[in-house]
Amino acid sequence: MREVLFRVTQLLSGRAVAIWWVALASVGVALTWLPLMDQPGYELASGLTLVLTFAGGGLTIAAARRDPTPSASAVLLALSAAPALLMATLRTRFGTPCDPFASVAFVPLLIVPSAGLVAVLGALAARISKRWWLAFLVYLGFVTLTALSTAWPLLTGPQVFAFNHLGGYLPGPLYDEELSVPASLLWFRFATLCLAGGLGALLQHQRRRGVALLAVFVVIESSGTPLGFRMTDAALARALGGEVETEELVLHYPSGLSDAEVSRVLGDLRFRHHQISDFFGGPPPGKVRVWLYRSAEEKQRLVGAANTQFAKPWRREVHVHGLSFPHPVIKHELVHAMAAPWGAPPFGVAASLFGLQPHVGVIEGFAVAADNPVDELSLHEWTAAMKKKGLLPEVASLMTPQGFYGAPPSRAYTTAGSFLRFLSDRFGKDKLRELYRDGDFDRAFGQPLPALAKDYEAFLDTVPLEPDAVNQAFARFKRGSLFDRPCAREVGRLSAEAGGALSTDPQRARDLLARCHALQPDEPSHVLAEAQALRRLSQDEASRALLEAELKRLEEEPSPWAEAALARADLAQEDGDLETATKLWTRIIERKISPAMERTAQVRLDGLGVEAVRRYFQPGDDDVKLFLLRDASAQKWSVRYLLGRRLQQSGESAAALPVLEQLLGEALPAAIAKETTRLALEAAFAVGRCDRVRKWAAPGTFGGAFDARAADWIERCAFAWP
C-alpha cells in the first residue's frame, strides 16, 4: 500500500496529471451544487462516476506516460472524488438536518470499481497509441462499447434498470423515494472489479492471475439473469409462468393467479384496448404485450422500477403490477404502447431531432388525455382546483423535458393531460395525433405553445368547482417533487422501515417516524403515523398531545386537519370520550373537506356505540371484522354500508350486491349514497347484471365526474355482454 501511495505522489508531480486531477476534482465539487447531489448518496455517486467515465481517461492516459501500472492511477481517480464527497458531507452535516451517511453505501459501490476499470482502460489505450489524442479516442471507443452493451438489453429486452461497468447503475425511473442497494448491484460491481483486475494483471504480464479473474468475470456476466442485473423476454416469461393470447394482446401473468383473476384482468385489458382504439379512430396494427406482476417488489426485482408502472412503446409492451379491478393505470400505459405508430421512430413517441429528443410533457400528457381518468373529480376539475390553490405548474414550461421533470409528478401528469385533452376537444383528435409525431404545437395547431397555454388557463377559470374540490386538490397535489422535499431519500427509507415495523416493533417505528417528522416538519403523515405507534405502545397520553398539537397547527389546511381529526376522534372514542369524538366527526362533515372524509365521519357518527363499526376502523383480522358486520347488519345503515363495502372489496360481489341494493332504497346521506352506488355498479357488473348497471348509472344523479365513471361501467357492460 505504501508503494502505491508513493507512486500516486510521483504521478501528481507531473504537470499534466496534476491538471487533470484538479479538473476532475473541480467538476466533482461543482456537482454538489445541483439538486439531490448536495448529499453523499446515490445521485452524487452516480454523477462522480460519470465524470470519471468520460474524463478520467485523460488522467490515466497522462499517468501511463509516467507509470504504466494502473493501480496508482486507480487510487488517484478515486481520490479525485474525495473533495466533492467531503464538501457534500460537510454541507449536509452542518447545513441541513439530514444524515450525511444515510445513502453512503452507494459511494464506494459506484466510484471504486469504475475508477479501477477507467484506470486499466486508460493504460490500455496509452499502450495502443503513443499519441495522447489518439489514445483518448481509443479510450472513448471503450466507453462506447460499454454503453452499447448496456443500451442493447434496454432497447431489445423488458428491463428498465441499467448496469454499466463504467457508469454504474440506474434503478429505472427515479420517482421512487426509497432507494436501497440491491444484491444484483453487489454482484455486478464485483464483476467490474474482476474485469479491471484481470485486464490490469494482463497488462503487467501476470497471465495466470489475469486469466483467473477474467474467468470469474465471464461466469458472473453469463449469470446476469439469475443474479438480477439482466433480463430477457424468455427468462421473464418463465419467471412469471402464465401466458394467454387474444387477437389484441398477449398477457404474461404470475402463474399463481386463479382462472377468475386471469379472466378479470384479461377482460379489463381488452375493454381498455377497445376504448383506446375508439379514441384513435381505429385499432393500431399489431398486438400489445402486457407483463403483469403481483407486486411492486416483484417488478423491481425482475425488471426495475418498483412503484413506477411503465411502457416501452417501441416494443409495444407495458409493465404493470397489482390486481385491483379496474386497474388504475393500465389504460394509461396501453396508450403509450398503442400510440407508437403515430410517434416518431425509432422509439414511437413524440420526439424531434430524428426521434432522439423526446418531448416528455407531450408523451405523458397524451396518455393522460386519452385515458381521461375520473375519480372524485374529472381531469379538468383537478387542474382547475390546482390553479385556485396556486399549485398549477407553468403549462408551456411543462411541455419541455426539464419543466416536466422539475414539477412534482402528480401535478405534471395531471396538468399535461388536462391541457392536451383541452386541445383535443377544441381542435379534434386528428390534430392531437399530429402533435404526437414531434411535439411541434405550432405545426399541429397553427398557434404557438404560449398562446395555447394562455387559452387553456383561461378555460380553467370557467370550470365550476365545489369548495371540497379545492380542498381535495390541495391534499392530493401539495406534496413537492423529489427535488423540493428535504432529505427525501433518507425519509423515504425511514418511513418504509417504520411502516414495516409498526405492527412488530412499534417502539422502533415511533423512533423512525420521529426522525422523519424532524426532517420534514410540515409533512403531517409522519405525525399521524407516530401517533398510531404511540397508541400501539399504550402511550395514549403522548398520542393525544401529539394529535392535539397537530390539529391546532393544521387548522387552515383542511385535508390534513381532517386526517388528524379522525385519528384524534378515534382515540377519544377508545377513551370513552364520546363528546369529543362526536364534535370532531361533526366538524369534519360541516367543513365539506372531501367526500372520503365526509363518508368516514358519517359512518362513525351513525355507528356510534356499535362494536362492529368501532372494530372495523381498528387494526385486526379482516375475517373477524366481516363476521361482526354480518352479525350486526340489522342495526344501522352504517353497518350495512361497511358490510357491502367489505364484501365487494373482498371480491364477493354476489354477496355484496343485495346488501348494497337494499341500502340504495334507504334514506342515506348524499356522500354515502354516491359511494354506495359506485360499489353497487362494480358489484352488478361483476355478476353480469347490466340491467342494474344501466339503472344506477342514470346521468344527472351525482354530477359530472360521477356520470363519467358511471358511463364507463355502461360501456364496459356493453363490451363484455353485447
DSSP-assigned letters across all residues of 499-533: HHHTTT-HHHHHHHHHHHHHH-TT-HHHHHHHHHH
CA distance 516 to 505: 17
- The average pLDDT across 21-28 equals 92
85 assigned to some structural domain: yes
159 assigned to some structural domain: yes
Domain containing 311: what range? 232-342
pLDDT tops 70 at residue 548? yes
CA distance 590 to 558: 11
Same domain, 245 and 118: no
- The average pLDDT across 274-300 equals 91
Contact between 425 and 370 (Cβ < 8 Å) = no
- Which H or E element spans position 440? none
Contact between 594 and 475 (Cβ < 8 Å) = yes
Same domain, 101 and 34: yes
pLDDT at residue number 479: 63
CA distance 209 to 196: 12
- The average pLDDT across 565-589 equals 90
Highest mean pLDDT among 113-117, 636-640, 690-694: 113-117
Read off the pLDDT of residues 149-163 as tens digits, 9 standing for 90 and up.
999 999 999 999 999
Contact between 109 and 192 (Cβ < 8 Å) = no
pLDDT tops 70 at residue 569? yes
DSSP per position, 263-316:
HHHHHHHHHHHHHHHHHHTSPPSSPEEEEEESSHHHHHHHTS-SS--EEEGGGT
Choosing from 304, 323, 342, the residue where a domain stops is: 342
Same domain, 192 and 301: no
pLDDT tops 60 at residue 482? no
Same domain, 156 and 245: no
Q: How far is CA 676 from CA 117, 187, 702, in A?
A: 62, 52, 12
Residue 366 CA to its chain's centroid (Å): 19
Walk across the sheet containing 310-312 and list its strands: 241-245, 249-254, 288-293, 317-321, 310-312
Read off the pLDDT of residues 137-148 as tens digits, 9 standing for 90 and up.
999 999 999 999
Number of domains in the chain: 3
Contact between 269 and 290 (Cβ < 8 Å) = yes
Same domain, 716 and 624: yes
pLDDT tops 70 at residue 488? yes
Residue 83 one-letter amino acid: P
326 upstream amide cis, omega within 30 of 0:
yes
pLDDT at residue number 454: 95
327 assigned to some structural domain: yes
Same domain, 219 and 336: no
Read off the pLDDT of residues 644-678 as tens digits, 9 standing for 90 and up.
999 998 889 999 999 999 999 888 898 899 999 99
pLDDT at residue number 24: 92
Read off the pLDDT of residues 418-439 as tens digits, 9 standing for 90 and up.
999 999 999 998 899 899 999 9
Contact between 276 and 342 (Cβ < 8 Å) = no
Contact between 386 and 477 (Cβ < 8 Å) = yes
- Which H or E element spans position 698? none
Q: Binning pLDDT at 50, 70 and 90, where does residue 721 land?
A: confident
Same domain, 239 and 196: no
pLDDT tops 60 at residue 634? yes
pLDDT tops 60 at residue 440? yes
**CATH number for the domain harbouring residue 264:** 3.40.30.160
pLDDT at residue number 138: 94
- The average pLDDT across 521-536 equals 83
For the chain, helix, strand, coil in percent to 5 are: 65, 5, 30
21 assigned to some structural domain: yes
Contact between 676 and 661 (Cβ < 8 Å) = no
Same domain, 298 and 171: no
Same domain, 100 and 209: yes
- The average pLDDT across 361-365 equals 92
107 assigned to some structural domain: yes
Same domain, 210 and 248: no
Q: Which long-range contacts (CB under 8 A, 24 or more apart) does 320-327 make?
A: 320/290, 320/291, 320/292, 320/293, 321/292, 321/293, 321/294, 321/295, 321/296, 322/294, 322/295, 322/296, 323/257, 323/261, 323/265, 323/294, 325/264, 325/265, 325/268, 326/268, 326/716, 327/265, 327/268
Phi/psi for 68 (5° steps) reads -70, -15
DSSP 245: E
- Which H or E element spans position 169? strand 168-170
pLDDT tops 60 at residue 550? yes
- The average pLDDT across 605-625 equals 81
* pTM reported for the whole predicted model: 0.87
CA distance 423 to 654: 42
CA distance 437 to 435: 5
Alpha helices in 556-594 (DSSP H): 558-574, 578-591
312 assigned to some structural domain: yes
Contact between 309 and 333 (Cβ < 8 Å) = yes
Residue-averaged pLDDT of the chain: 88
256 assigned to some structural domain: yes
152 assigned to some structural domain: yes
Read off the pLDDT of residues 60-99 as tens digits, 9 standing for 90 and up.
988 887 777 888 888 889 999 999 999 999 988 888 888 8
pLDDT at residue number 176: 60
Contact between 557 and 474 (Cβ < 8 Å) = yes
Q: Binning pLDDT at 50, 70 and 90, where does residue 53 land?
A: very high
DSSP-derived 3-state class of residue 243: strand
pLDDT at residue number 198: 94
Same domain, 132 and 185: yes
Least confident of 104-108, 192-196, 514-518: 514-518
Q: Binning pLDDT at 50, 70 and 90, where does residue 41 land?
A: confident
pLDDT at residue number 685: 92
pLDDT tops 70 at residue 174? no
pLDDT at residue number 132: 81
pLDDT at residue number 650: 85
Contact between 308 and 293 (Cβ < 8 Å) = no
